[in-house]
Amino acid sequence: MDIAIPLFDRITALDAIGPYEVLSRLPGARIRWVAVTPGPYRTDNRQLTLVAEEPLSAVPHPDIIMVPGGFGTRVLMTPNPLLDWLRAAHETSQWTTSVCTGSLLLGAAGILRGLEATTHWAAHEQLAELGAKPTLKRVVVQGKVVTAAGVSSGIDMALTLVARIAGDEFAQTVQLGIEYDPQPPFHAGSPQTAPPHIVSALRERTRARLESLKT
Amino acid sequence: MDIAIPLFDRITALDAIGPYEVLSRLPGARIRWVAVTPGPYRTDNRQLTLVAEEPLSAVPHPDIIMVPGGFGTRVLMTPNPLLDWLRAAHETSQWTTSVCTGSLLLGAAGILRGLEATTHWAAHEQLAELGAKPTLKRVVVQGKVVTAAGVSSGIDMALTLVARIAGDEFAQTVQLGIEYDPQPPFHAGSPQTAPPHIVSALRERTRARLESLKT
């Protein structure tokens, strides 16, 4: 089972590694780290290198497409080879999935038109502009298209997917294997639970960061 | 603030990337990916490459030591340069931390003697053999030594650490930034909550995998 995870400059590492850690445990899983150009890619904070081992063209028909997000998605919203690949690969995929602002790329490829979908909480407006119906759920399943909310939600998304593919017992085995019994020290993981002044400050900082990347 | 994360063959990726995603957001954070020999390291399932950019000797005095786990820890339990580095770096660190079986390396370096500590649920016996007092808590803080349970627990550990270093509000901001509002699809993330037959089957499979790696 080929699971293609495209990399690009300024990816958010946990968006990719959360689902990787879960999906790679599927029987017969083969993770394919792909990019327009194979090679090293730096994460959003420039503090980690992830390596794309193959060009997109080496994996035209993955069984699962898993698109991570990151600030780097924003320069990939206009026509480009990654969107072309997504559109073509989606035609034959069993599952087309995303984490965080990875869904903006699915949207830009035209894959989310008319579908309920989600993304990082700070990017819901952009998702709507791409023809999707943004929802506040953490994992949104629409036929074979599965989108997840911000960064860490990819773990929940991937466990949901593993249950669909290999059954509930297998998904529980994977959950136990990664000891996923989360106990966050605060209740601040969503705009609904975090203190409002923290939400507005982070929203403003995110906007400023995106602006600075444009220049 | 230097945060050293040592890599080795057969590391578990999420053990490292969960804390990385949180700790790299600390003001002034500089993640140092180190190894006995710099270069690419393959994860436990051989499906991802992480890159150690510097030798251990380049970072003798990190502010934070963060040791990930993985099946590869087992061949590092006898005297070797990584244990020597851990022992020396721990003398000047502000925080010495681990995720999953990374605590076995702290234990083998003599750092956990007499301390409460934790590790992956399937490795508690080995931890006791190293002089630590294993506890079932997800994150265990003993002075400057902080150990976390299996794989995904590194996210909780790192948020706990960020709160101690930069305050609760900053930690909440990071939690909101990575949208860490976990909603696992099952209650199977610990041996206490997973169905018993799943726990015993996975315990047996883990033991067999470790045996096969010895040969």
- Residues of A taking part in catalysis: 100
Q: What is the mean pLDDT of each run of 10 residues along chain A (215 residues)?
A: 98 98 98 97 96 98 98 96 98 98 98 98 95 97 98 98 98 98 97 96 92 77
What percent of chain A lies above the pLDDT cut of 90?
A: 96
Q: What is the pLDDT of residues A35-86, one digit of tens each?
A: 999 999 999 999 999 999 999 999 999 999 999 999 999 999 999 999 999 9
Given a contact cutoff of 8 angstroms between Cβ atoms, the answer to whether B151 and B122 are in contact is: no
Cβ-based contacts of B191 with chain A (< 8 Å)? 176
Helix ranges, B41-95 (H):
81-92
Task: Check if B30 contacts A (Cβ < 8 Å).
Answer: yes
Backbone angles phi, psi at A118, to 5 degrees: -140, 175
pLDDT of residue A213: 79
| Residue where the block lists tokens 């045996």 | B211
Window 78-107 of A: residues touching B by CB (8 A cutoff) are 100
Backbone angles phi, psi at B194, to 5 degrees: -75, 150
Q: For residue range B44-76, what is the model confidence (pLDDT) as tens digits?
A: 999 999 999 999 999 999 999 999 999 999 999
Global pTM value: 0.97
Q: SS3 of B212, please?
A: helix
Q: Give me B152's structure tokens.
A: 């995904």
Mean pLDDT of B125-131: 95
Which residues of chain B does A190 touch, with a Cβ-Cβ cutoff of 8 Å? 176, 179, 181
Counting Cβ atoms within 10 Å, is residue B53 exposed (0-12), middle (13-18) or buried (19+)? middle
B203 has pLDDT over 70: yes
Taking CA–CA distances from A34, the nearest residue in chain B reads B48
- Domains of chain A in start order, with CATH, are 2-182 (3.40.50.880), 184-215 (no CATH)
pLDDT reported for residue A212: 85
CA–CA distances in Å: residue B186 to residues A159, B18, B87: 9, 20, 39
Reported ipTM: 0.97
Where does the pLDDT of residue B210 fall: very low under 50, low under 70, confident under 90, or very high at 90 and above? confident
Mutate to test the interface with B, among A46, A176, A204 (most CBs of B within 10 A): A176
d(CA B27, CA A69): 22
DSSP letter at A38 equals -
SS3 content of chain B, % helix, strand, coil (to 5): 40, 20, 40
CA distance B22 to B16: 10
What residues of chain A lie within 8 A of the CB of B149, using their CB? 179, 181
Interface of A with B in 144-203 (CB under 8 A): 149-153, 155-156, 159-160, 163, 168-169, 171-173, 175-186, 188-191, 193-195, 198-199, 201-202
pLDDT band at B215 (very low <50, low <70, confident <90, very high): low
Helix ranges restricted to H, B93-183: 102-108, 124-129, 153-166, 168-177
B149: left (phi over 0), alpha (psi -120 to 50) or beta: beta
Nearest in space to B179 (alpha carbons), one of A198, A207, A145: A198
Interface contact flag, B14 A31, Cβ < 8 Å: no
